[in-house]
Structure 1
């Protein structure tokens, strides 16, 4: 499947999200990636109350916890080293998502969840261990006082629903009934002006993921869907374009890391060759000596 990085989101064309691959990484490798993934400004450097599908996670009137507390909860929940090419991005993400989570207008929804799951799976593509990748996901979401199972479940429901849709049914959700349709109606209502909708890059990615799964990535469809949801399409275009650039930079960073690992492996092999030869000579001499002693005993 073609990577998202090949897509120009401002002029939306067909794309898909690649499957995971595996590579051996170590936190000791001196590759550093500097990112700044803001949910409202991103750059890269080097309700329907009747639907149980919508989870309300708005912050309370109490003072929100400091960012340091959220980061500490994450580190306590996942104590193993994380390779720097992944860890740098994760630390930036958790800071920005913390700031977004505790905004007055924050309101969890399934499209946001689909966007975050898509971003996370893309960023962690190629992580050495699939089990560790999921453990990091669990620790990350729990550090924000949210439910990782809910994120996965909601994303899966949307990914199951979307392929059965088309350009018309996606845009015409308001006239239809169903669990996902109710989610979209709730978003449109909140984004229409009651103050409980906070746009984010994750939402933009989730929105486009729906279009992609429905094979409806024509720019006119995105424009109509944004209008139906009361979302600013220009903001969505910018968010998707930034996401594409982020993924492109990460692909480059991972390629550099892969090349570094291969060079180091080759150097280690070259250093061990003389040692292997010396060991072989020693073993041969030892065998000859043992044979001589054995013959004398006989």
Structure 2
């Protein structure tokens, strides 16, 4: 996401729609720096759960198989059980907060999974984990994260991939004219628009990021396109603008934190090399001394 990486930041909003939720981090954090903390939630709503059926055959649901709404603590515990290896604090702090907010989004009463939501989360996750030391571990963390929410990680990747492919084939005009066209993605967008007009759509920041990613892939850079797309989807553009600012702020802080981490790792590596060299010199000096003493 070239247009975002230059201003890489989910700093949290200070106010919440219904009430504030404070959740402690589930792992020990290595730093107290503001760069390594995102204390405020990026969505603070009281949540309920209701299983719902699809109103469109083209909308895929990833819903919990449990009959009772799990607690945030249960979701976090599920993640820790699924992925037991340590995660560097610069990633773990934000990842844990993201998991809490994802939990709150999913178990809102009106929430219904859709590919735009999936694309938004995948976009956020990939940005967050960019530069992670191991690609294999990054994928394993993704699997553990989604499964902790009782969802299907493969479905997230498949749906976001389909949406990305569709977006690349669009332009500024075709994006906002989805209601007059037929197709799988067009059907998904129509369903969202209909539910939003009826007040049965649960908007989230992942959805806002998903919309932005669609515009980015379609090269729809005109400022008015987002407004038109939001209007066609019956989504409040002010909410989208606000949440995209939150997203950029998060990415920006992550870049700074990762730079600090790189500097720390480089310093520690240099110290280890210096200590190793010093010990090697001491060993050589001792050996030479022993050799000279034996030859006397």
Q: Report the TM-score range of the alignment, normalised by the length of the smaller protein.
A: 0.7 to 0.9
Contact 1:58 1:102 (8 Å CA) reproduced = no
* 1:49 maps onto 2:53 in alignment: no
Contact 2:190 2:233 (8 Å CA) reproduced = yes
Partner of 2:71: 66
Q: CA separation in 2, counterparts of 1:270 and 1:49?
A: 64
Q: CA separation in 2, counterparts of 1:37 and 1:159?
A: 30
Give SS of 1:35's match.
Answer: coil
Deviation at 1:90, TM superposition (A): 1.1
Q: CA separation in 2, counterparts of 1:130 and 1:8?
A: 21
Distance change (3 Å), C-alpha of 1:94 and 1:250:
same
1:233 to 232, 237, 250: 237
* 1:192 maps onto 2:211 in alignment: no
Partner of 2:37: 34
Partner of 2:14: none
* TM-score, length-scaled by structure 2: 0.82
Q: Give the stretch that moved more between structures: 55-64 or 227-236.
A: 55-64
Supply the RMSD in Å over aligned alpha carbons.
Answer: 2.7
Contact 2:62 2:152 (8 Å CA) reproduced = no
Deviation at 1:250, TM superposition (A): 0.8
Q: CA separation in 2, counterparts of 1:81 and 1:107?
A: 32
Give SS of 2:214's match.
Answer: helix
Give SS of 1:246's match.
Answer: helix
1:118 to 119, 123, 126: 123
Partner of 1:147: 152
Q: CA separation in 2, counterparts of 1:182 and 1:126?
A: 36
* 1:166 maps onto 2:171 in alignment: yes
Q: CA separation in 2, counterparts of 1:28 and 1:104?
A: 33
Distance change (3 Å), C-alpha of 1:212 and 1:254:
same
Give SS of 2:198's match.
Answer: helix
Deviation at 1:63, TM superposition (A): 3.5
Deviation at 1:62, TM superposition (A): 4.5
Deviation at 1:98, TM superposition (A): 0.9
Distance change (3 Å), C-alpha of 1:154 and 1:60:
closer
1:276 to 277, 280, 283: 280
* 1:80 maps onto 2:51 in alignment: no
Contact 1:85 1:254 (8 Å CA) reproduced = yes
Q: Provide Cα deviations, 1:107-143, integer angstroms capped at 9, x if missing partner.
A: 0000000000000000111111000001000000001
Deviation at 1:286, TM superposition (A): 6.3
1:263 to 260, 267, 277: 267
The aligned runs of 1:6-21 (5 Å cut-off) are: 6=6
* 1:90 maps onto 2:95 in alignment: yes
Contact 2:215 2:221 (8 Å CA) reproduced = yes
Partner of 1:214: 218
Deviation at 1:279, TM superposition (A): 2.0
* TM-score, length-scaled by structure 1: 0.82
Aligned residues: 268
Q: CA separation in 2, counterparts of 1:105 and 1:117?
A: 21
Contact 2:205 2:243 (8 Å CA) reproduced = yes
Contact 1:31 1:84 (8 Å CA) reproduced = no
Partner of 1:254: 258
* 1:104 maps onto 2:109 in alignment: yes
Q: CA separation in 1, counterparts of 2:252 and 2:8?
A: 11
Contact 2:60 2:113 (8 Å CA) reproduced = yes
Q: CA separation in 1, counterparts of 2:95 and 2:8?
A: 24
Distance change (3 Å), C-alpha of 1:57 and 1:150:
closer
The aligned runs of 1:119-138 (5 Å cut-off) are: 119-138=124-143
Distance change (3 Å), C-alpha of 1:63 and 1:256:
same
